[in-house]
Structure 1
Amino acid sequence: MLNWDHVFATRMAHMRASEIRELLKLLERPDIISFAGGIPDPALFPEEAFKAAYADIFSGDRAAAALQYSVSEGYRPLRDWLRGEMEKIGIPCSVDNIFITSGSQQALDYLGKLFLSPKDTALVTWPTYLGALQAFNAYEPNYDQLTLTGNRTPESYRAAAENLGGAVKFAYLSADFSNPTGETVDREARERLLTLAEELDIAILEDAAYQSLRYEGEAIPPILALEIAQKGSIEETRTIYCGSFSKTLAPGLRVGFVVANQTVIRKLVLMKQAADLHSSSINQIAIANVAERHFDAQVAKIRAAYGARRDAMLKALATYMPAGTTWTRPEGGMFIWVTLPEGMDGAELLARSVETEKVAFVPGQAFFADRSGANTLRLSFCCANETMIDEGIKRLGRMVQGALAAAA
């Protein structure tokens, strides 16, 4: 019998199952209050708008195009609409700077492939988005902690990468309401990152999956917008902006996008031609139809719903969590990051929680490239109503209090 381990590529040793995807199976259990999945509430999907969009496709003259192969760059009317949206947030560009992907996760995979050779270093925050680590892991990189306080010099990043046999290639971060912490990078830190990237001569991967989900406070220009303002043209920039319709319209259609200078876009197009030729034609057309007619109203609807659920979770945490436990207070997004007292283990807590309190969450260790952060956890508030949030956090707080008492 074939020894599969002998013939698998070495990159397979770096690939692990997603702890979050495994936890999503708990959503099928009706007795579980789940704060685990970072997924939108299906009750808020614009179902009627999509029904009308698909009906329109098949009742008009676009059916043949919707069912046919298409260009790798993406559906032109969708890219035209995105160009207008980018203009609104300070990113003037042309359709040639926009590339459609099968979800923003595919964009991260392509960018890992584009930049990383084995032993190269990716700079990521501690913690960072687990899906990004999974995408990059296939290309056998090393990771270094991206700090935005100015405490580290470019030379220290460069030397650390060289000592590991490679070079620093990019800095990856989610600047607005990040997954998993919900935190936002302020303008000064964004500008420091641009300076660091210039000194290291590396790319910046700006994951903007949650940018539309702001519930309070003033919007901060995207990193790409700040760089264009500095340099005058997107063609002179090193920031690569990754967006998605998954958190605003519907994740099941798998439509994401990249906005970048044309040198990068052309390379990504080559990758797509070799991988899946193009993203689903019919889904791109449907997304374009719904976005053009309903995007602003849909975003307003989900902002109101998710903002109320965020408020409910913050109130419940303040009411039920014992002293010594802290958490973030995000201005938007889908997540709150909880830090437990030292010595507690989020994974152990989850195992007990699912069995005794019937509450699910994501242990924080999964989001650290070095597997630290054992005493942290991520809570998502989007798929639970206010009553469920109050009851679930009450149970969780009771369990944390009990664990502290047992350890005393």
Structure 2
Amino acid sequence: MSLDQLFATRMGRMKASEIRELLKLLDQPDVISFAGGIPDPALFPAAAFRDAMVRALGDVQAGVSLQYSTSEGYPPLRRWIADHMRGLGVECGEDNILITSGSQQALDYLGKLFLSPGDTALVGWPTYLGALGAFNAYEPVYDRLDPKSNRAPSDFRAQAETRGGRVKFAYLSPDFANPTGVTLTREERESVLRLADDLDCAVIEDAAYQSLRYDGEPVAPILALELQRRGDIDACRTVYCGSFSKTLSPGLRIGWVCAAKTLINRMVLLKQAGDLHTPTLNQIVVADVVADGFEDHVETLRAHYRVKRDRMLAALERHMPAGVEWTRPEGGMFVWMTLPEGLDGAALLAEALRSERVAFVPGAAFHADGSGRNTLRLNFSSPGPDEIEEGITRLGQVLRASMAVARAGAQQS
């Protein structure tokens, strides 16, 4: 007997995360890894967490921190987040906030909430592969979301109907996107809202990197822009997904959703059925830490990551061969690289690991249709500045050799 024959059809859409597999390379000390989109552990506020944990487990507080809690989340943390959102231009209350086990859980719940098999999700080409993994379980089809295009809403609608469903949402990360590092302009954000209005669909705003801006002027969140038009968050179609994973600690798994109360209430039902609530102790500890010096901590992150971003961009300028292009992000954790046509990111990774012990994420994983094989993602937040210099030097050597082989093959053919 094999249990495989009993699996639901959705399991055919589930794939192992290439990033989770590549993170295993971090245990190999001779590998310089640009693969994981992970924070620098040296910047975790460990002392603040240690002190907060002691307070949370004190005689008075332990009965709360070790107990079951409400599915919506720890009220003081929700109130802090609501205040934080108001600082971003989103007038909201505690009832508009749901605490989730990282923003990844929020994406899973939103896929479950909106998608029936055959429905269409609009996503970027490329987009965050964790979002694809979360949505895949609910058997959608994907269509390409490009805020710069003039594609008519009727075309999206017709394509969705042809595939047996309707467009349910547009998913995007407007600030320093994973994987490209690109930030959308205000006009591009407005264009997504106009498209969503025409299609009568939701907008999922993944704001995991919103706080990590190193250059340029901040752009208002999509939810803030919509709120300016509608005057009431409970009339908005945008769902804002925030996270403390990139600013405080990914290991505590604390994220949040800010949206209309009707949507929050539905997500609470999913939370109750899924895991009852996010760990109470973790929520209390995070609430304690953010209440005392969150902005100062984020400023420290910005200063450190700005140096690493600049080091990577300068190294790319020095060591990349002609014909290779890359983004120049104003913040976040990633640089997106486009190779000459004919080169394959997966094959390049295999060669880079074999010959130079350098790791990155091939770009096809971030494309819903498996395209983009001549692209790759580089992370600059995790490695040190000297590792960045050495790793980019090695990667440039691999690329020169691979491009020479490709040219020789083209000449022979």
TM class by shorter-chain length?
Answer: over 0.9
Q: What CA deviation, in whole Å up to 9, does each residue of 1:74-97 have, x standing for no partner? A: 000000101111111100100000
Percent of aligned positions with the same letter in both sequences? 61
Structure 2 partner of 1:91:
90
Q: Which residue is 2:80 aligned to?
A: 81
What SS does the corresponding residue of 2:342 show, helix, strand or coil? coil
CA distance in 2, matches of 1:375, 1:242: 30
Q: Distance in 2 between matches of 1:343 and 1:377?
A: 14
Q: Aligned partners of 2:168, 2:406: CA distance in 1, in Å?
A: 44
Any idea what SS the aligned residue of 1:300 has? helix
The residue aligned with 2:327 is 328
Q: Is the 8 A contact 2:342 2:406 kept in 1?
A: no
Aligned pair 1:370/2:380, yes or no?
Answer: no
How far did 1:294 drift? 2.3
Shift of 1:214: 0.2
Shift in Å, 1:60? 5.0
State the match for 2:287 in structure 1: 288
Runs of 4+ in 1 over 3 A off after TM superposition: none
Paired position in structure 1 for 2:263: 264
- Who is 1:243 aligned against? 242
Corresponding position of 1:179: 178
1:313 corresponds to which residue?
312
- Listed one character per residue, the Cα deviations across residues 321-349 of structure 1 (whole Å, up to 9, x for unaligned) are 00000000000000000001110000000
d(CA) in 2 for partners of 1:58, 1:127: 44
The match for 1:297 is 296
Q: Secondary structure, in 3 states, of the residue corresponding to 2:209?
A: coil
Task: Specify the SS of the correspondent of 1:206.
Answer: strand
Which residue number corresponds to residue 6 of structure 1?
A: 5
Aligned-partner Cα distance in 2 for 1:397–1:116: 42
Aligned equivalent of 1:36: 35
Q: List per-residue Cα deviations over 1:135-178 (Å, max 9, x = no partner).
A: 00000000000011242110000000111111100000000000
8 A Cα contact 1:150 1:192, kept in partner: no
The one-letter code of the counterpart of 1:391 is E
Please name the residue that 2:157 is paired with: 158
Which residue of 2 is the match for residue 21 of structure 1?
20
Aligned to 2:58: 59
Give the Cα separation in 1 of the matches to 2:28 and 2:394.
17
Q: Given that residues 343 and 406 in structure 2 are in contact (C-alpha distance below 8 angstroms), is that contact kept between their aligned partners in structure 1?
A: no
The CA RMSD measured in Å over matched residues stands at: 0.6
Q: For 2:237 and 2:118, locate their aligned partners in 1 and report how far apart those are by CA, in whole Å.
A: 22
> Would you say the 8 A contact 1:317–1:393 is kept in 2?
yes
The CA distance in 2 between the partners of 1:373 and 1:297, in whole Å, is 39
Shift of 1:355: 1.1
Shift of 1:386: 1.3
Are the equivalent residues in 1 in contact too, given 2:72–2:98 (CA < 8 A)? yes
Q: Which runs of 5+ in 2 are unaligned?
A: 408-413
Quote how far apart the aligned CAs of 1:15 are.
0.4
Could you state the TM-score of these two structures normalised by the residue count of structure 2?
Answer: 0.98
Matched, 1:48 2:47: yes
Residue 357 (structure 1) aligned with residue 359 (structure 2): no
Q: How far 1:58 moved relative to its partner?
A: 2.0
What's the CA shift for 1:5?
2.4
Structure 1 residue aligned with 2:209 = 210
Unaligned runs of 5+ in 1: none
Distance 1:138 1:161 in 2: 18
Counterparts of 1:407 and 1:346, CA distance in 2: 13
TM-score, structure 1 as length reference: 0.99
Number of residue pairs matched by the alignment? 407
- Give the Cα separation in 2 of the matches to 1:296 and 1:145: 36
Supply the distance in 1 between the matched residues of 2:7 and 2:59 (Cα, whole angstroms).
48
Q: Distance in 2 between matches of 1:12 and 1:39?
A: 27
Find the aligned partners of 1:338 and 1:60 in 2 and give their Cα distance. Answer: 53
